[in-house]
Amino acid sequence: MKHCQRRIATLWFGVAGVIALIMISQTLLGHYADPGAAWAWLVPNLVPTLSLIIGVLVAESLSDAKQRMADTFLYRVCLGVSAFYLLSILMILLLQPFSSGPAAELMKQGQQFWIGPVQGLATASLGAFFVRAGPAATGAPAES
């Protein structure tokens, strides 16, 4: 289970780091008419989930609980939905220079049409994978 959780955490923190660097660069280069609005869009899309992941990893590292087996299907769903969600956010940032409208409008449309719904799926799968109680009956072996 730890091995799978660490892979998902690596995906989230790696891609979120790239997204943050792009956002910092775009902010410093004056890409946004209202940088506060741009950051107000990004932060709630990443920080709550990153906080959940950190919280669970820290709690499990301090726990003497027995290793659990990860459900392979749930792990793959969680990884796939997470990757799609993070790449969707990244895509919005990367496509902004090619958009004819203001960056804030592209962010708003993305949030309304696909980021919001996919965020719900990503959060639900992460919550089920990171916080579920009890050992799984089958799945991938956990790392020691």
| Per-residue model confidence as pLDDT tens for the chain (144 residues) | 788 899 999 999 999 999 999 999 999 999 899 999 999 999 999 999 999 999 988 888 887 767 777 788 989 999 999 999 999 999 999 988 888 888 888 888 888 888 988 999 999 999 887 776 434 434 444 444
For residue 85, being part of any structural domain is answered with: yes
Total domains in the fold of the chain? 1
Residue type, position 93, single letter: L
Neighbours of 118 (CB within 10 A): 17
For residue 74, being part of any structural domain is answered with: yes
The phi and psi torsions of 8 (rounded to 5 degrees) equal: -65, -40
For residue 141, being part of any structural domain is answered with: no
- Report how far residue 27's alpha carbon sits from residue 82's, in angstroms, rounded to the nearest whole number: 25
For residue 138, being part of any structural domain is answered with: no
Residue 9 tokens read as: 């955490």
pTM above 0.75, yes or no: yes
Residue 110 tokens read as: 């993305």
- Give the pLDDT score at 88: 93
For residue 142, being part of any structural domain is answered with: no
Residue 78 in contact with residue 126, Cβ under 8 Å? yes
Longest dimension (CA), the chain: 55
For residue 100, being part of any structural domain is answered with: yes
For residue 47, being part of any structural domain is answered with: yes
Give the angle 13-63-130 at the CA atoms, nearest 5°.
Answer: 40
For residue 143, being part of any structural domain is answered with: no
The boundaries of the domain holding residue 83 are 2-131
